[in-house]
Structure 1
Amino acid sequence: MNTFVNYLAVLAVAALLLAPALYAAARERRIDRQLRKAAAGRSEARETGRARKAQKSSSRSTVPSTAT
Protein backbone atom coordinates (compact mmCIF):
# COMPACT_ATOMS: atom_id res chain seq x y z
CA MET A 1 0.00 0.00 0.00
CA ASN A 2 2.81 2.38 0.84
CA THR A 3 4.39 1.77 -2.58
CA PHE A 4 1.12 2.66 -4.29
CA VAL A 5 0.84 5.94 -2.35
CA ASN A 6 4.44 6.79 -3.25
CA TYR A 7 3.68 6.07 -6.90
CA LEU A 8 0.64 8.37 -6.80
CA ALA A 9 2.70 11.09 -5.12
CA VAL A 10 5.33 10.91 -7.86
CA LEU A 11 2.63 11.10 -10.53
CA ALA A 12 1.02 14.10 -8.83
CA VAL A 13 4.34 15.98 -8.66
CA ALA A 14 5.09 15.11 -12.29
CA ALA A 15 1.65 16.37 -13.32
CA LEU A 16 2.19 19.62 -11.42
CA LEU A 17 5.54 20.15 -13.12
CA LEU A 18 4.36 19.22 -16.61
CA ALA A 19 1.02 21.04 -16.62
CA PRO A 20 2.39 24.58 -17.21
CA ALA A 21 4.72 23.38 -19.96
CA LEU A 22 1.94 21.47 -21.72
CA TYR A 23 -0.40 24.45 -21.41
CA ALA A 24 2.23 26.77 -22.89
CA ALA A 25 2.92 24.39 -25.77
CA ALA A 26 -0.79 24.17 -26.59
CA ARG A 27 -1.05 27.97 -26.44
CA GLU A 28 1.93 28.39 -28.79
CA ARG A 29 0.37 25.99 -31.30
CA ARG A 30 -2.89 27.97 -31.19
CA ILE A 31 -1.05 31.24 -31.78
CA ASP A 32 0.92 29.68 -34.65
CA ARG A 33 -2.32 28.54 -36.30
CA GLN A 34 -3.79 32.03 -35.94
CA LEU A 35 -0.67 33.61 -37.45
CA ARG A 36 -0.71 31.20 -40.39
CA LYS A 37 -4.40 31.93 -40.98
CA ALA A 38 -3.76 35.68 -40.88
CA ALA A 39 -0.80 35.36 -43.25
CA ALA A 40 -2.89 33.31 -45.67
CA GLY A 41 -5.62 35.95 -45.57
CA ARG A 42 -3.09 38.72 -46.13
CA SER A 43 -1.54 36.97 -49.14
CA GLU A 44 -5.02 36.36 -50.54
CA ALA A 45 -5.83 40.05 -50.11
CA ARG A 46 -2.62 40.97 -51.93
CA GLU A 47 -3.55 38.72 -54.85
CA THR A 48 -6.97 40.33 -55.18
CA GLY A 49 -5.33 43.75 -54.84
CA ARG A 50 -3.01 42.94 -57.73
CA ALA A 51 -5.99 41.94 -59.83
CA ARG A 52 -7.63 45.27 -59.06
CA LYS A 53 -4.50 47.21 -59.97
CA ALA A 54 -4.44 45.50 -63.34
CA GLN A 55 -7.79 47.07 -64.33
CA LYS A 56 -7.95 49.34 -67.31
CA SER A 57 -8.49 52.98 -66.56
CA SER A 58 -11.60 53.03 -68.75
CA SER A 59 -13.31 50.43 -66.57
CA ARG A 60 -13.01 52.56 -63.43
CA SER A 61 -15.92 54.67 -62.38
CA THR A 62 -15.51 58.38 -62.86
CA VAL A 63 -16.48 61.03 -60.37
CA PRO A 64 -16.89 64.62 -61.53
CA SER A 65 -14.37 67.00 -60.07
CA THR A 66 -15.71 69.67 -57.75
CA ALA A 67 -12.46 71.64 -57.63
CA THR A 68 -12.66 75.11 -59.14
Structure 2
Amino acid sequence: MTTFLNHLTVLSVLTLLSAPALYGLHRERRTDRQLRGAAAGRSGAEGVRVRTQKSSSRSTVPSTATW
Protein backbone atom coordinates (compact mmCIF):
# COMPACT_ATOMS: atom_id res chain seq x y z
CA MET A 1 0.00 0.00 0.00
CA THR A 2 2.85 2.39 0.81
CA THR A 3 4.44 1.79 -2.58
CA PHE A 4 1.15 2.63 -4.29
CA LEU A 5 0.89 5.91 -2.36
CA ASN A 6 4.48 6.77 -3.23
CA HIS A 7 3.78 6.21 -6.92
CA LEU A 8 0.59 8.22 -6.69
CA THR A 9 2.43 11.09 -5.00
CA VAL A 10 5.15 11.16 -7.65
CA LEU A 11 2.55 11.05 -10.42
CA SER A 12 0.56 13.93 -8.90
CA VAL A 13 3.68 16.09 -8.45
CA LEU A 14 4.71 15.35 -12.03
CA THR A 15 1.25 16.35 -13.24
CA LEU A 16 1.30 19.58 -11.25
CA LEU A 17 4.71 20.52 -12.60
CA SER A 18 4.07 19.63 -16.23
CA ALA A 19 0.53 21.03 -16.60
CA PRO A 20 1.55 24.71 -17.06
CA ALA A 21 4.21 23.76 -19.60
CA LEU A 22 1.76 21.66 -21.60
CA TYR A 23 -0.82 24.45 -21.52
CA GLY A 24 1.78 26.95 -22.76
CA LEU A 25 2.80 24.60 -25.55
CA HIS A 26 -0.81 24.22 -26.64
CA ARG A 27 -1.32 27.99 -26.61
CA GLU A 28 1.87 28.59 -28.60
CA ARG A 29 0.87 26.03 -31.24
CA ARG A 30 -2.53 27.71 -31.58
CA THR A 31 -0.84 31.11 -32.03
CA ASP A 32 1.49 29.67 -34.66
CA ARG A 33 -1.48 28.19 -36.50
CA GLN A 34 -3.24 31.57 -36.48
CA LEU A 35 -0.13 33.34 -37.76
CA ARG A 36 0.29 30.83 -40.59
CA GLY A 37 -3.37 31.31 -41.48
CA ALA A 38 -2.98 35.09 -41.55
CA ALA A 39 0.12 34.80 -43.72
CA ALA A 40 -1.78 32.58 -46.13
CA GLY A 41 -4.54 35.17 -46.43
CA ARG A 42 -7.24 33.43 -44.44
CA SER A 43 -9.19 35.42 -41.87
CA GLY A 44 -9.09 33.75 -38.46
CA ALA A 45 -7.83 30.32 -37.51
CA GLU A 46 -9.23 27.08 -38.89
CA GLY A 47 -11.45 28.79 -41.43
CA VAL A 48 -13.47 30.87 -38.98
CA ARG A 49 -14.91 33.83 -40.80
CA VAL A 50 -14.53 37.24 -39.23
CA ARG A 51 -17.44 39.54 -39.88
CA THR A 52 -16.29 43.01 -40.88
CA GLN A 53 -18.36 46.10 -40.45
CA LYS A 54 -18.78 48.47 -43.37
CA SER A 55 -18.44 52.19 -42.78
CA SER A 56 -21.98 52.79 -44.05
CA SER A 57 -23.44 50.50 -41.39
CA ARG A 58 -21.84 52.27 -38.45
CA SER A 59 -24.02 54.12 -36.03
CA THR A 60 -24.21 57.86 -36.61
CA VAL A 61 -25.75 58.75 -33.26
CA PRO A 62 -23.86 61.71 -31.78
CA SER A 63 -22.37 61.47 -28.35
CA THR A 64 -24.56 62.72 -25.52
CA ALA A 65 -21.72 63.45 -23.11
CA THR A 66 -21.87 67.04 -21.88
CA TRP A 67 -18.78 67.28 -19.69
TM-score (norm 2): 0.61
- Structure with the higher fraction of residues in helix conformation: 1
SS in 2 for 1:41: coil
| % identical equivalent positions | 69
Following TM superposition, the consecutive aligned residue runs of length 4 or more in structure 1 with deviations greater than 6 angstroms are none
Q: Which runs of 5+ in 2 are unaligned?
A: 43-67
Q: Which runs of 5+ in 1 are unaligned?
A: 43-68
| CA RMSD of superposed structures (Å) | 1.1
What is the CA–CA distance in structure 2 between the aligned matches of 1:39 and 1:4, rounded to whole Å? 51
Q: Which has the higher contact order (CA 8 A, sep 6+)?
A: 2
2:22 corresponds to: 22
TM-score (norm 1): 0.60
Q: How many residues align?
A: 42
